[in-house]
C-alpha cells in the first residue's frame, strides 16, 4: 500500500494537545486583542515553550525532541488556524534555529539552541531591504571585518517580529563589497538591542500582532563569532532555510483557510433570509463546496511536500506549489467568506475581516506568487527572466 494519508497516533495526540492549549489561551477575545491593540502573543509563546513545541523539530543532541517534518506541519496548521501571527511567532524561531543547527559551528549550536528552545531568546529574519525584495541578492547592507568584530551598516525592511523581547535578528548582509551575491553574503546573529540599531514598526493592514519593522544599522559592532558557519556562505544558508519557511507558511495558510471556511459555513447555516438559511441557496452552497475543496487540495499539496522533505527528497517544486496554491486559496476563501457574510463580514466585530486582512499578505510574503510561478516554471524547463 504505497500511499497513506493517516497520521500516527502520536501525531493525532500532538494535534489534539496543541488544539486544547490554543482553545484555552487563544480565545476569540485574545486573538482580537492581539490584532487590535496590537500586542505580541507573549502568553501563547510561553505556552509553546512550556509544552515543548519549540523542542519538537530539533534533535535530542541539542535538547530537542526529535520530531519529524510532518509533526512540524501538524503543529503549524493548528497555530495558523487561530492566527497566522501565532504561527509566525513559533515558526520563525524554529526555521532560524534549524538554520543554525544545519549551518552553524558546533560551538554556535551549543550556545544558541538551548537558549532558543528554553524560550530565553526569540529569533526573527532580516533579508528584505528597500531596494531588494524579490531580488534578495541585490541587498546592500554591509558587514566589514574590524579585528575581532564585524561592523554592520545599512537598512532592512519588513523584519517581522524584530521588536519582540529578547529577539535575535538573523541578519543577511554583504560581507564582501564586490562579487556575485552567491559568494558575498554572510548570516549574522544580532541582538535587537545592540547599540547602533534603530527599529521602527510599520503600520500594516493585517498581521498586526507580531508587527513588521524597518531596522536601521549604524556602525553596529558584533563579535566575530556572531557570523554563522563560514563567511560568505550566507546565500546558500538562506536558500536552504527558505524551504522550511515556505512549508511552514503553507501549513499556516491551510489552517487559516480552514478557519475562514468554518466561519462562513456556520454563518450560512445560521443566517436566515427569505425565510431560509442562506446556505440553502445553491449560489452560496456551491461557493462553500468550492472553498472546502480548494482548502483540501492545498492541504494535499502541503502533505506531499512535507512527506518528500521528510524522506530527504528534493522537495523544492512541491514546496513552491504548496506555498503558491495555499496562499491563493487562503486569500480567495477569506474573500468569498466576506461575500457569504454580507455586510457583517465587513465589520470588525466578526473575525472574517481579520482573515481577509491577514490572508492578503500571503501571496506577497516568503516569495510572491509571481516568484513561486517563476520557480515552478523554471523547474519545468521554462526560462522566465
Nearest distance in Å: CB 191, ligand FAD: 17
Q: What is the DSSP string of 62-99?
A: GT-----HHHHHHHHHHHHHH-HHHHHHHHHHHHHHHH
Measured CA distances, 343 to 29, 236, 333, 348 (Å): 21, 48, 16, 11
Query: Which residue's Cβ has the minimum distance to ligand FAD?
Result: 133
Q: How many CB atoms lie within 10 A of CB 63?
A: 17
Q: Is 53 or 125 the residue whose CB approaches ligand FAD more closely?
A: 125
**Residue ranges that bind ligand FAD, judged by CB under 6 A:** 125-128, 133-134, 158-160, 204, 207, 212, 361, 364-365, 368, 370-371, 374
Decide whether 268 or 366 has the Cβ nearer to ligand FAD: 366
Least Å distance, CB 224 to ligand FAD, is 24
- Alpha helix (H) ranges present in the chain? 9-25, 28-36, 42-51, 69-82, 84-103, 106-117, 234-270, 282-310, 316-340, 352-360, 369-379
Query: Cβ distance 313 to 306 under 8 Å?
Result: no
For ligand FAD, give the closer residue by CB, 68 or 204. 204
Cβ(161)–Cβ(167) under 8 Å? yes
Q: How many CA atoms are closer than 13 Å to the CA of 78, on its beta-carbon side?
A: 23
Q: State which residue, 188 or 267, has the beta carbon closest to ligand FAD.
A: 188
Question: How near is the Cβ of 68 to ligand FAD at its closest, in Å?
Answer: 25
Residue 237 or 303 with smaller CB distance to ligand FAD: 237
Q: Which residue do the cell numbers 532592512 mark?
A: 156
Q: What angle do CA 375, 379, 382 make, to 5 degrees?
A: 85
Q: Measured from the CB of residue 383, what is the shortest distance to ligand FAD in angstroms? A: 12
Cα 98 to chain centroid distance, Å, stands at 14
Residue whose C-alpha is closest to residue 185's, from 234, 151, 240, 140: 234
- Closer of 311 and 383 to ligand FAD (Cβ): 383
Nearer to ligand FAD, 92 or 336 (CB): 92
Question: Minimum distance from CB of 213 to ligand FAD (Å)?
Answer: 9
- Choose between 220 and 284: whose C-beta lies nearer to ligand FAD: 220
Quote the cell numbers at residue 249.
507558511
Instruction: Kindly state the smallest distance separating residue 123's Cβ from ligand FAD, in Å.
Output: 10
**Residue whose entry in the numeric block shows the C-alpha cell 543554525:** 100
Q: How far apart are CA 352 and CA 357, in angstroms?
A: 9
Question: Shortest distance, CB of residue 354 to ligand FAD, whole angstroms?
Answer: 14
Shortest distance (Å) from residue 385 CB to ligand FAD = 7
Amino acid at each position: 500500500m504505497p500511499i497513506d494519508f493517516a497520521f500516527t497516533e502520536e501525531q493525532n495526540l500532538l494535534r489534539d494537545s496543541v488544539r486544547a492549549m490554543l482553545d484555552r489561551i487563544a480565545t476569540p477575545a485574545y486573538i482580537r486583542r492581539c490584532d487590535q491593540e496590537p500586542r505580541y502573543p507573549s502568553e501563547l509563546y510561553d505556552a509553546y515553550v512550556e509544552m515543548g513545541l519549540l523542542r519538537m523539530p530539533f534533535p535530542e543532541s541539542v535538547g530537542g525532541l526529535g520530531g519529524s517534518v510532518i509533526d512540524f506541519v501538524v503543529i503549524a496548521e493548528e497555530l495558523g488556524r487561530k492566527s497566522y501571527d501565532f504561527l509566525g511567532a513559533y515558526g520563525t524561531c524554529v526555521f532560524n534555529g534549524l538554520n543554525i543547527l544545519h549551518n552553524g559551528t558546533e560551538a554556535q549550536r551549543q550556545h544558541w539552541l538551548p537558549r532558543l528552545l528554553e524560550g530565553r531568546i526569540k529569533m526573527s529574519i532580516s533579508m528584505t531591504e528597500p531596494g531588494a525584495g524579490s531580488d534578495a541578492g541585490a541587498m546592500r547592507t554591509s558587514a566589514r571585518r574590524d579585528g575581532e568584530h564585524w561592523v554592520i551598516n545599512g537598512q532592512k525592511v519588513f523584519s517581522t517580529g524584530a521588536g519582540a523581547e529578547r529577539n535575535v535578528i538573523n541578519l543577511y548582509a554583504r560581507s564582501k563589497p564586490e562579487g556575485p551575491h552567491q559568494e558575498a553574503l554572510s548570516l549574522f546573529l544580532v541582538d535587537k538591542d545592540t547599540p547602533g540599531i534603530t527599529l521602527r514598526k510599520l503600520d500594516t493592514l493585517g498581521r498586526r500582532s507580531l508587527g513588521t519593522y524597518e531596522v536601521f544599522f549604524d556602525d553596529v559592532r558584533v563579535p566575530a563569532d556572531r557570523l554563522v558557519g563560514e563567511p560568505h556562505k550566507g546565500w546558500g544558508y538562506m536558500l536552504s532555510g527558505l524551504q522550511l519557511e515556505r512549508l511552514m507558511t503553507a501549513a499556516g495558510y491551510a489552517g487559516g483557510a480552514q478557519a475562514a471556511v468554518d466561519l462562513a459555513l456556520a454563518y450560512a447555516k445560521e443566517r436566515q433570509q427569505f425565510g431560509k438559511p442562506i446556505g440553502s441557496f445553491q449560489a452560496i452552497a456551491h461557493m462553500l463546496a468550492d472553498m472546502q475543496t480548494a482548502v483540501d487540495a492545498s492541504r494535499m499539496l502541503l502533505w506531499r511536500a512535507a512527506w518528500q522533505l521528510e524522506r530527504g527528497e528534493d522537495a523544492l517544486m512541491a514546496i513552491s506549489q504548496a506555498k503558491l496554491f495555499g496562499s491563493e486559496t487562503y486569500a480567495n476563501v477569506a474573500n468569498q467568506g466576506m461575500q457569504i457574510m454580507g455586510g457583517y463580514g465587513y465589520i470588525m466585530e466578526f473575525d472574517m475581516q481579520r482573515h481577509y486582512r491577514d490572508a492578503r499578505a500571503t501571496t506577497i510574503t516568503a516569495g510572491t506568487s509571481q516568484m513561486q510561478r517563476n520557480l515552478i516554471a523554471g523547474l519545468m524547463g521554462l526560462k522566465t527572466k
